């Protein structure tokens, strides 16, 4: 294909991932994850996400979740690009309700003239106008997150989990800090141990879509599929936590895709204000880039695009880490640094014990009244707010805590626009390779 060298690199990396992985035995800290669901949500009670991913009840949701990494766990999800005709009806209903309510802008869908190039809108549609506002063109939609608070190095890593993830997580853990991991759904399927290690070390898990497409080029339903499956997998693999943040691959989101994320799934969109280009096959000097960003004024705070895809990107971060504090920056996981610090829609953080058990999901939530679990519906209709089905059986490992009916903190407004983002992003080669490799690895896995 067009990028043989990166393919080979990723192929070898991904194949290594198919081998048995080190467990967390070497993980010295004893973090106890309370696998309980909270009763306190970020989104208001009438937000559709409550019906899609059910809120807690005092008795748990009664679901016995397969262990992360089990065959049954992986088999329940699309293995590659999701089929938008086979979506849980609750997701489709929630989308249709949002469209009917006028909250999803009906704008032209851009196309790409070649793979891995910027999506192009039809003549007459300005991607920098407020009614399109594409992140690819560095247009900032008010409320989206591009900057962190003054003086804060808001840390995040994209595209994991990968075989290089343990090195990163162990390093951060040894420095008593965590980060936010914008994970790709199919990579979680391929690297379940690395995923679980990240979560259980107290890091924040966020959404980076299922297969890393240019989101603005997708239909509404395909956008729902990319976000919904990733949220579902994270939810079902973290004791019911519902991610609060997503980062569009390539920074490619506009008013339509951002609205679907927000209105259907309650997700907030996160970009960046500096880019290391660490993914580039050309091997840019990542450390030099980081050093340069650390020397910039403390206003606004830093959100630097970094990846946990190969050792090289992780090693460069590790080498630069001491410079962050030395330059006067406060290192913090992105999801904790912005807004009110709540990293999930229904819990404060991975290790927080403010949660309480319960319910979730989709199949269960939607199935209770209005849908079969995998039937697509094209009818419009409001999302039903399903009542939680109480069950006497609590999920093993759940820690029940007293009910707390307190709801939502309003999401604080993020700074609007104005600071030009000069970074470019074409993650293409790595990604395509990564996805191709994931599939190849899957084939190998079945052959072996």
Ligand X SMILES: *[C@@H]1O[C@H](CO)[C@@H](O)[C@H](O)[C@H]1NC(C)=O
Complex with Zn ion: residue 144 or 159, whichever CB lies closer: 159
Of the candidate spans 27-35, 43-51, 162-170, 246-254, the one that interacts with Zn ion by CB under 5 A turns out to be 246-254
364 lies in the binding site for ligand X (CB under 6 A): yes
393 lies in the binding site for ligand X (CB under 6 A): no
Complex with ligand X: residue 170 or 382, whichever CB lies closer: 382
Q: 197 with 167: CB under 8 angstroms? A: no
Of the candidate spans 242-250, 281-289, 323-331, 339-347, the one that interacts with Zn ion by CB under 5 A turns out to be 242-250
From the list ligand X, Zn ion, none, pick the one residue 405 interacts with, judged by a Cβ distance below 5 to 8 Å according to partner type.
ligand X
Of 217, 370, 399, 408, which one interacts with ligand X (CB under 6 A)? 370
93 lies in the binding site for ligand X (CB under 6 A): yes
Report the run of H or E that residue 207 belongs to, with start and end. strand 204-207
- Sequence-distant (6+) residues with CB within 8 A of 180 are 154, 155, 156, 157, 203, 204, 205, 206, 245, 333, 334, 335, 336, 343
Pairing of strands 204-207, 302-305: unpaired
Complex with ligand X: residue 87 or 364, whichever CB lies closer: 364
158 lies in the binding site for Zn ion (CB under 5 A): yes
Q: 227 with 92: CB under 8 angstroms? A: no
Report the run of H or E that residue 324 belongs to, with start and end. helix 311-326
CA torsion sign, 226 to 232 to 233 to 238? positive
Of 134, 179, 232, 237, which one interacts with ligand X (CB under 6 A)? 232
| Nearest C-alpha neighbor of 77 from the set 159, 186, 182 | 186
Q: 254 with 133: CB under 8 angstroms? A: yes
Report the run of H or E that residue 205 belongs to, with start and end. strand 204-207
278 lies in the binding site for Zn ion (CB under 5 A): no
CA torsion sign, 315 to 319 to 321 to 327? negative
76 lies in the binding site for ligand X (CB under 6 A): yes
Q: Which of 144, 147, 158, 254 is catalytic?
A: 158
Distance CA 182, CA 338 (A): 15
Helices 220-237 and 192-200 cross at an angle (nearest 10°) of 70
Q: Tell me whether residue 158 is one of the annotated catalytic residues.
A: yes
Distance CA 259, CA 261 (A): 5
Of 381, 385, 389, 400, which one interacts with ligand X (CB under 6 A)? 381
Helix-then-strand count for the chain, H and E: 14, 8
From the list ligand X, Zn ion, none, pick the one residue 249 interacts with, judged by a Cβ distance below 5 to 8 Å according to partner type.
Zn ion
63 lies in the binding site for ligand X (CB under 6 A): yes
Q: How many CB atoms lie within 10 A of CB 315?
A: 16
Q: How many CB atoms lie within 10 A of CB 373?
A: 16
Of 13, 145, 334, 361, which one interacts with ligand X (CB under 6 A)? 361
From the list Zn ion, ligand X, none, pick the one residue 158 interacts with, judged by a Cβ distance below 5 to 8 Å according to partner type.
Zn ion
Q: To the nearest 5 percent, what fractions of the chain are helix, strand and coil?
A: 35, 10, 55
Phi, psi dihedrals of residue 416, rounded to the nearest 5° = -70, -100
159 lies in the binding site for Zn ion (CB under 5 A): yes
Cis peptide before 21 (omega within 30 of 0): no
Of the candidate spans 114-122, 144-152, 378-386, 411-419, the one that interacts with ligand X by CB under 6 A turns out to be 378-386
Complex with Zn ion: residue 90 or 207, whichever CB lies closer: 207
From the list ligand X, Zn ion, none, pick the one residue 76 interacts with, judged by a Cβ distance below 5 to 8 Å according to partner type.
ligand X
Of the candidate spans 160-168, 337-345, 357-365, 434-442, the one that interacts with ligand X by CB under 6 A turns out to be 357-365
Of the candidate spans 244-252, 283-291, 296-304, 401-409, the one that interacts with Zn ion by CB under 5 A turns out to be 244-252
Complex with Zn ion: residue 217 or 368, whichever CB lies closer: 217
369 lies in the binding site for ligand X (CB under 6 A): yes
- Say how many residues touch ligand X, by CB under 6 A: 22
| Nearest C-alpha neighbor of 248 from the set 239, 240, 256, 258 | 258
Of 28, 123, 176, 412, which one interacts with ligand X (CB under 6 A)? 176
Complex with ligand X: residue 107 or 362, whichever CB lies closer: 362
Q: 164 with 278: CB under 8 angstroms? A: no
Residue ranges binding Zn ion (CB under 5 A): 158-159, 249
Catalytic machinery residues: 158, 307
Residue ranges binding ligand X (CB under 6 A): 61, 63, 76-77, 93, 176, 232, 236, 360-364, 369-370, 381-382, 384, 403-406
């Amino acid at each position: 294909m067009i990028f043989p060298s990166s393919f080979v690199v990723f192929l070898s990396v991904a194949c290594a991932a198919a081998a048995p992985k080190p467990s967390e035995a070497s993980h010295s800290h004893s973090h106890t994850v309370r696998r309980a669901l909270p009763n306190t949500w970020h989104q208001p009670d009438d937000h559709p996400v409550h019906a899609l991913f059910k809120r807690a009840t005092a008795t748990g949701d009664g679901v016995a979740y397969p262990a992360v990494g089990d065959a049954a766990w992986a088999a329940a999800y699309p293995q590659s690009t999701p089929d938008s005709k086979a979506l849980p009806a609750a997701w489709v209903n929630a989308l249709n309700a949002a469209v009917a309510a006028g909250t999803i802008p009906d704008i032209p869908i851009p196309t790409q003239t070649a793979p891995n190039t910027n999506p192009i809108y039809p003549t007459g549609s300005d991607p920098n106008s407020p009614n399109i506002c594409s992140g690819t063109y560095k247009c900032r939609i008010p409320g989206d997150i591009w900057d962190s608070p003054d003086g804060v190095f808001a840390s995040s890593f994209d595209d994991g989990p990968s075989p290089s993830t343990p090195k990163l997580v162990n390093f951060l853990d040894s420095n008593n800090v965590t980060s936010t991991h914008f994970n790709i759904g199919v990579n979680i399927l391929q690297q379940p141990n690395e995923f679980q290690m990240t979560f259980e070390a107290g890091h924040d898990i966020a959404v980076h879509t299922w297969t890393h497409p240019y989101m603005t080029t997708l239909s509404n339903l395909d956008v729902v599929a990319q976000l919904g499956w990733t949220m579902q997998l994270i939810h079902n693999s973290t004791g019911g936590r519902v991610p609060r943040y997503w980062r569009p691959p390539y920074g490619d989101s506009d008013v339509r895709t951002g609205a679907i994320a927000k209105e259907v799934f309650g997700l907030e969109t996160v970009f960046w204000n500096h880019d290391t280009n660490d993914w580039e096959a050309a091997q840019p000097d990542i450390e030099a880039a980081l050093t340069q960003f650390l020397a910039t004024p403390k206003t606004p705070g830093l959100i630097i695009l970094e990846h946990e895809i190969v050792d090289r990107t992780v090693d460069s971060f590790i080498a630069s880490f001491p410079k962050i504090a030395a330059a006067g920056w406060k290192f913090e996981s992105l999801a904790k640094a912005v807004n009110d610090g709540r990293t999930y829609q229904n819990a404060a953080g991975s290790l927080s014990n403010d949660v309480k058990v319960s319910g979730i999901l989709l199949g269960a939530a939607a199935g209770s009244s209005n849908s079969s679990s995998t039937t697509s519906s094209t009818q419009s209709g409001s999302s039903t707010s399903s009542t939680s089905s109480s069950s006497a059986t609590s999920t093993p490992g759940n820690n029940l805590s007293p009910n707390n009916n307190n709801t939502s903190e309003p999401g604080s407004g993020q700074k609007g626009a104005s600071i030009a983002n000069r970074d470019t992003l074409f993650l293409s080669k790595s990604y395509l390779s990564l996805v191709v490799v994931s599939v190849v690895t899957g084939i190998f896995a079945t052959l072996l």
